[in-house]
Structure 1
Amino acid sequence: MTEPSSSSRRRLAAASLAVTAALALSACGSSDAGKPSSSDAAAGDKTHTVKTAVGEVKVKNNPQRVVVLDTAELDSAITLGVKPVGATHTTAEPGFLGYLPKDKVAGIKDVGEMMTPNLEAVAALKPDLILTSKVRHGALYDELKALAPTVMTENTGYPWRENFQVHADALGKKAEAKQVVADYTEHAAKVTDAIGGKDKAAKTNVNVVRFIEGADIRIYGKQNYIATVLADVGLGRPAITDKAKDGFSYDVSPEKINLAGDDADVVFHSTYGDPKKAKQTQTLNSGLWKNMPAAKADKVFGVEDELWIQGIGYTAAGKILDEMQSHLTTK
């Protein structure tokens, strides 16, 4: 999870200036364009109330034109069998996270970069539900709710399980969500068994390191998405994770990267952005990195940032569990 910077918030607020045009666009065109049949309209009139971070919101029982503005919401929708009509992307280049099945994201309209969604593009899709969070788009709530009922969670990342339940409620998929959770719980238990059981898992200290272009190196703490997946398997965490700011991450320079491996049996690492600019290249080639106990034991594994860090959902978590089991059972 990447927290929005002050500059991102300014860009987000500036994006709201486009909302007048967006609303005008949504009102244009033939009154018959996309008009549902009388039976569809009757079914669409039925609503239910969802408790959100911005209060109670009435949404259709079976929304058909869903727009999601962050990766967790996209994962939730895909996991629950709903293909959104629109979604944002996370990087400078368009496109959705690579771990998602191609057929599940084919045809979804890209409505801009995650922190600065194109409101005109959103309006043009005539959504009947928008899913996002306050931490990402709280400044745009009034504009978004003018386009469609907007369901916001408070945050993203660490509370992903609770957020998933909110998404499921909004999408009218609470029964499906119950099965998803049951399947994931069973999956995590099988991974624990595969790596030697609960006692061995608890004695295996695992760190997750993220190299980020334009920022310090993150050693992830215990209050974030990937930490919850590690905890579900029952894995131990090194002492350095207790120093993480707000439980999220302990940030270091390449000169202090040894702190990531002093008492870690296994280290997973990912990179966001250009490897050189993210200091990944120089760090992985340094003596401090190569002399970490995990590195000497061949227990350092590079993983995809899109999956392990950006995904934030049950579809991502299931794939992470599979990769985790493969790495942790490697002799």
Structure 2
Amino acid sequence: MLHRILDACARALVLAVLMAALPASAAGPYPSQVIKLVVGFPPGGGGDLYGRLIAESLSKSLKTSVVVENKPGAGGNIAAADVAKSRPDGYTLLLAMSGNIAVAPVVRTDLSYKSPDDFELIGAAVEAPHGLFVGKNSRFKTAAEFFDYAKSNEVTVGSTSPGGAAHMGLEMLKLKTGADILYVPYRGSGPAITDLMGGQTEAFFATAPPLVGQVRNGALRLLALTGEERNPSLPDVPTFKELGIPVVVTQWYGLAAPKGTPKDVVDLLAQHLSKALADPKNIKVIRQDGAVEKDLPTDAFTQYVKQDIDGYRNNIAPEVIQSLSR
């Protein structure tokens, strides 16, 4: 009797181990449980808005709960590291972004993950331009005036997160224009804007959407934006590209899963993400402050990320990258 009981327990244990090792597609219909979307920002901060928008849309479309888990720190790298080592079953996803997927591999040598190699890239979702902002009383009325002055005079420009996407965009501007820019690091936009308005700095380079409201109410002036073409929400603001400055890098967001997540699961998630990005209600939310929807599923997203990584690696002064590498 005892032998039979032990034999049955052993068989159950083996079956459990085998089931745990099966990919999601073989273990049963996907999704069959709650999906976790890990976001590298605190609630209400940075790309948390886009993460929650995506989670809500996927919940409705997939008919299963997609919950946001905020895991801020290290510019989103902590969240990326957590997802990279998660089980590749489609139930743990990452709000991927330019900072932790494209910039970090270039400027950090201590990452516990490899990008994009440790991820299945599901799709791009949102693209937000960086902008060069000045106070309403600034002497600079245009980007041309700013850069003409900065070619022979030092200007202090604030930006957030040393080694982050916006800071790297600023370093690209320095390299491409030869401007004498002194980078002033800030932990957040609030203190940076306070100093800008108080005259402690002469400009602020940052991701645009959180500051668009202050541009519209006249508190700030937006001189130029990154991106390939003018922003539909800010049609009067020129791009750096059209001014002859080849800086187009943006802050983008998308979805990623751990490497090894079954292809059918990745493809299903990509299809539902594309569906969410085509929803007029979501487009309105995304565009309200200067971001745009960017629907690049799977392979197209992977190619885009690789090009973005190369763009940072090849368009930032080597001494800057060396100073940030650790």
Q: TM-score, normalised by structure 2?
A: 0.31
- Which has the higher Rg, Structure 1 or Structure 2? 2
Q: TM-score, normalised by structure 1?
A: 0.30
Greater relative contact order: 1 or 2 (C-alpha under 8 angstroms, separation 6 or more)? 2
